[in-house]
Amino acid sequence: MSELAQQEFCITLSDLAAFIGTTPVNIKKKAEKILSKKIKSPWLLPEEVRTVLLAEGYKYPQKVISVQMLKGGVAKTTSVLNMGLRAAMYGARVLFIDLDQQANLSFALGVEDEEVPVWVDIAEKRKSIEECVRFIEPHVDLIPSSLNNSVLDRVLMNSNRNWAQVIKAPLEKIRHRYDLILIDTAPALSAVNTAVTVASDEIILPVNPDKFSFLGLQKNLTELEDIKSDFSLDFTRKILFTKFDGRENTSHELLQKCIDSFEDSLMKGYIRTSSEVKNSIRSGKSLFAGKSPVKEDYDIVTREVLGFA
């Protein structure tokens, strides 16, 4: 990794120290002892963080998490990207799966190619899942998407095979390699998203402070309950409040409404609004290399996802 990439994809000693509740000097000493080497940089590589945190008694989960919401623009892609990158910085082995034909997640991770193998190639047995996995950075892999995935829904509907297993079945072959598999989805109630739900241990639904977003959430939750009973599933669902703006009444009102309506499933962390987020996803830069307040918000949410809270 280049120095620039290290800053973007590695956790700093000071962030790690704050997480463990000690000083950067102490964490450096501790890491040097555990890793039996001198640490010269102000950050640790994901594999080093993993060794240190395992030695400290932390356990990594084994989960497939999808981020879904039938409304677009609620920060699905932004949340998948930042939770995944941060989880990798904490030493988790992360696989991103982009299942939105808009391919924003793939673009943000630097994969912008209409010829790459995508999930529709797995569904149609042209490629194996292993052939679709791309290495992005240490601890970060991606199964990208492209416009070619736009026919995936039709392929599923015309299939005689068990279409609802089209995500879960191929994933079984590789899921043991990862701690966290994060699936980004298109804003739709589609056959593809039903298959994503079937493959999910956990579903995160982002909601924004606007009325339509809240209505979309309610519709999405009803749909998920139907899928849960139709397919006898056992996933947990979590609601993530995003684009919270402390200066706006609607933000406070809708956050309160979410607390009242979904107390148990509302994630403890929530994401504030910040203009830097837009720039980060467009330039493909990790938020964690900058100073955005949203960096802290996604840090908290990522720890919640990892069970490191």
Ligand X SMILES: Nc1ncnc2c1ncn2[C@@H]1O[C@H](COP(=O)(O)OP(=O)(O)O)[C@@H](O)[C@H]1O
Task: Classify 7 in phi/psi space as left (phi over 0), alpha (psi -120 to 50) or beta.
Answer: alpha
Write each residue from 85 to 124 as x if it is in contact with ligand X (CB under 6 A), else as -, in one continuous string: -------------------x--------------------
Residue 109 Cβ, how far from Mg ion at the closest point, in Å? 13
Is 77 near ligand X (CB under 6 A)? yes
For residue 203, the cross-strand partners are: 66, 237
Residue pair 227/197 in contact (Cβ under 8 Å)? The answer is yes
Pairing of strands 140-143, 94-98: parallel
Is 243 near ligand X (CB under 6 A)? yes
| Triad 204, 191, 105: Cα angle to 5° | 50
Q: Which stretch binds ligand X (CB under 6 A): 19-27, 32-40, 134-142, 267-275?
A: 267-275
Write each residue from 92 to 121 as x if it is in contact with Mg ion (CB under 5 A), else as -, in one continuous string: ------------x-----------------
Please name which of 139, 87, 95 lies closest in space to residue 119, comparing C-alpha atoms: 95
**Could you tell which of ligand X, Mg ion, none binds residue 74, using a CB distance below 5 to 8 A set by kind?**
ligand X
Residue 245 Cβ, how far from ligand X at the closest point, in Å? 9
Is 76 near Mg ion (CB under 5 A)? yes
Rounded to whole angstroms, the Cα distance separating 194 from 228 reads 10
Is 77 near Mg ion (CB under 5 A)? yes
Q: Which stretch binds ligand X (CB under 6 A): 127-135, 151-159, 224-232, 277-285?
A: 277-285
Residue 278 Cβ, how far from Mg ion at the closest point, in Å? 13
Residue 7 Cβ, how far from ligand X at the closest point, in Å? 21
| Triad 274, 21, 305: Cα angle to 5° | 55
Rounded to whole angstroms, the Cα distance separating 142 from 232 reads 29
Is 295 near ligand X (CB under 6 A)? no
Helix (H) or strand (E) holding 67: strand 63-67
Total of residues contacting Mg ion (CB under 5 A): 3
C-alpha to C-alpha distances, 289 to 5, 9, 82, 243, 293, nearest whole angstrom: 9, 8, 11, 20, 12
Residue pair 205/217 in contact (Cβ under 8 Å)? The answer is yes
Is 281 near ligand X (CB under 6 A)? yes
Site residues for ligand X per CB under 6 A: 72-78, 104, 242-243, 271, 273-274, 277-278, 281, 294
Site residues for Mg ion per CB under 5 A: 76-77, 104
